[in-house]
Chains A and B, each alone.
Chain A
Amino acid sequence: MLQEHARIVDFIATAEGVTGRKKLQKMVYIMKKLNVPFKEKYEFHIYGPYSEELTARIEELCDMGFLSEALEDKGSYVQYKYAVTDEGMEFRNAVAASIPKNPEAAALLNAKSARFLELASTLLYFGHLERGEQIAKLHSVKGKLNFTETEIEEAYRFLDELEQLKLS
C-alpha cells in the first residue's frame, strides 16, 4: 500500500532534495529508464517527457505532509524546491525499505540543470531511433531551444555514464 508514493519520497530523500518541477519530472523519467520501478506513466509534451501522475502524486505527498514545497522567486521565473519532511522520513523508513535505490544516478542527475535534463530525457524518449534520427527529431520538436552540438555530445556522454549505473 502507498508503494508508489513511498518510491517518490525515497527518491527525493536519496537525492537530498530536488529544486524545480521540470527537473524532478525529467529525473524520475530518466531513473525509470535506469530500471528504477517508478509506475508513473509518461507522455511527450512540449517540454519533453512529462507525467501528470507524478505531478498529482507530488501534490498528494505535500498534502500528506511527507514533502515540503518551497517557492523560490528567481526574478524572471519561479522554482519549487522539494524536500522530505521528518514525517516523510518516518514514512520512508516504514514503507520504503524494499525499494531499489540508485543513489549514484540520483546524485548525477541532481547536479545537472533542468535544460540539460530536458535534452537528455528527450534523446532517451527517442531512444528507439538511430542516433542521427534522434538528433533530427530533437531539433524538430525542440527547435527553439537551439541545443548545440557540444550540448548534445555531452548529453550522450552523460547517458552512457548513467547506463553503467542501470539496475539489473
Chain B
Amino acid sequence: MPSLFVIRGEDQGSRFELTGDRITLGRDPTNTVRLRDGEVSRRHAEIRRSGEEFWLVDLGSSNGTFVNGQRITQHRLINGDQIQVGRSLLLFTQPPEETHPFEAEKVSIGLPEEEQRKSRIVRSIRPEEGSQIFRWPSESPDPSALIRAHRNLQVMYRAALAASLTTDIDQLLGRILDLIFESVEADRGCILLVDPDTRQLEPKARRLRDTSAGDDQLIISRTILDYVLQHNEGVLTTDAQQDERWDPAASIVQSGVREAICVPMQGRYGIVGVIYIDRYTPPHRALERAATPSFTEDHLKLMVALAHQAALAVEDTRYYSALVQAERLAAVGQTVATISHHIKNILQGIRGGSYLIEMGLAEHNEELIHKGWKIVEKNQNRISALVMDMLTFSKEREPELVPANLNHVVEEVIELMQSRAEETGVRLIWTPNANIPELVFDPEGIHRAVLNVVTNAIDAAAERGAGGVVRVRTELRETEGKVAVIVEDNGPGITPKEMRALFSPFVSSKGSRGTGLGLPVSQKILQEHDGRILVESSPGQGATFILEWPAKYPSEKSATTQEDEFSP
C-alpha cells in the first residue's frame, strides 16, 4: 500500500496510507492527510491516483508544495520522493508492484563487425571518482555546483532507499533505471548483470523514455563493454568523429549522433554488471547542439556512483537470497529427516505387530494375534496423529467456530486417554466445571489441542511410576471473559532449557516416542482462537499447562453472522 510518512514536523512519525483516487493534504480536519502545521494551507495539495501512478497537485497553497526541494504545481510521485508542505516533510513510499515482463531479447551486445559506426570514448573515469559528485570547488564557490551536489546526494539517497525497499533484483534494477532517467536525460537505458555461473553479461532491465517512439532493439557495443569490464572504468562515448561536426558530408549530418554512458557496477568483490544509457540527437539538432553534448562528466560521475550503489545492493540481495535458500533447504532437510524418522519407527511397530499376528496365525495362538493386533492398532493411531498434527501445523486455516460444550469435548479426550493412563499406571482425574455454558469454538481443534497436552502429561506422570497423577479441569473466568482447560501432572517437571524449546516444532523431550509436534500444534490451535498456552513448572515439581482463550457465547456468534450477512 503506498503511503506518506511524516519525517519532520508536528505530525512526525505518522503514516497515512493512500487509499482512494484523491487524497487531500491540509490543515483542515476534513483532509485525508491532516497536518497540524500552521504553515500548511487548509487545503494545501492533493494526490490523484491515475492507474498505478500518483500525481501530487498543489491546490494554490500560500507557501507552496515542494518535491525533493523543487517547487511544483504538479508532479508524478515516485518511491522515495520527499514532499515539503509548510514545515512538514513527508516521505512518499510505494512498494514495488509487478513490473511488465522484461524482454531480454530487446537488448543485445553488438559484435565488432556489426558496429557500423564505431563509437569512441571521449572520457573515462575510475569508480573512485564517482564520489566527486558531492564535491564542489573550494576556491571559487559556485552555487550551481552546490545545487548539483545537493541533487546528486538526493539521487544517491533515493537509490539507497530503493535498495532497502526490495529484495527482488529485477525490481531493484528497474528502480535504479527510473532514478537514472530522472537525473539524466537519457532516451534508453539498460542494466546487464554478470551471470555468476557463465560469467557472461545478461540483460536484466531496460527502460525507454518515450515508449511510443518505437520498441527498437538496444544494441550495445561489444568494444565499449569490453573496455568497461577490462579497465573497470565508466566511459562516455559518442559515435560522432572528432572533426565531423564541422563536416557537412559526415554521418552526423545524415544520421545524427548517439551518445552513451556505460559504467561498471563495481561491487565489493568484483564487477557484477554494467549500466548503459544513451541519447540520440537527430541530424538537425546535432548540428545546433554541436558544442553542448547531451552527457557531461558530471553525469558520468553520478552514473558511476549509482552503479556502485546498485552493485552493492545486487550483491546483498544475492547473498540474502542464497542465505534464505540455504536456510529453507536446511529446514526442509531437517523436517524430512525428522518425519522420516518418526514414520520409520511407526513402521517398525506395525511390522512387529504384523509379525506377531503371523506367528499367532501359524500357531493358532489367539493371544499372540490379539497382542499383535493391539500393536498394529496403536501404531495406526500414531501415524494418524502424526499426519493430523503435520496438517494442522503446516496449514493456514480458519477455526471452524460452532456452538459446543467444552466439558463434552474435554471428556472425550479423557475417555480416549483413560486406557493409556491405566496402562502406564497414571491416575487421570477429571473435574469439569458445571457452570460452563455452551460456547463458540472449534471443537475438533480444541479436542486436538487438549489431547496433545494430556498425552504429554500422562507420559510425564508415568515417569513417577505408580504415583503418577494427571488432573484435568475446566474453568470459566468470567471477569477476564476467558475459558480455560488446565492440565496438571506430577511428573519430573520441565527444565529451563526444555522450557525455551517447548513450542519449537520437532523438539521432543520424549526421545523416539515423541514427534515434537504436539505442543506446537496445540499452541497454533489456541492462537487461532486468539488464545494461548501458559506453562508453569519447575524441575521435580510437575507441570501445569493452561489452555485459555476468550469465551465467545452463541449470541455473539449469531450477532456477528447477522452483521456479516447484512453488510453490503
| Chain B associates with chain A | no
* Chain B interface (Cβ < 8 Å from any Cβ of A): none
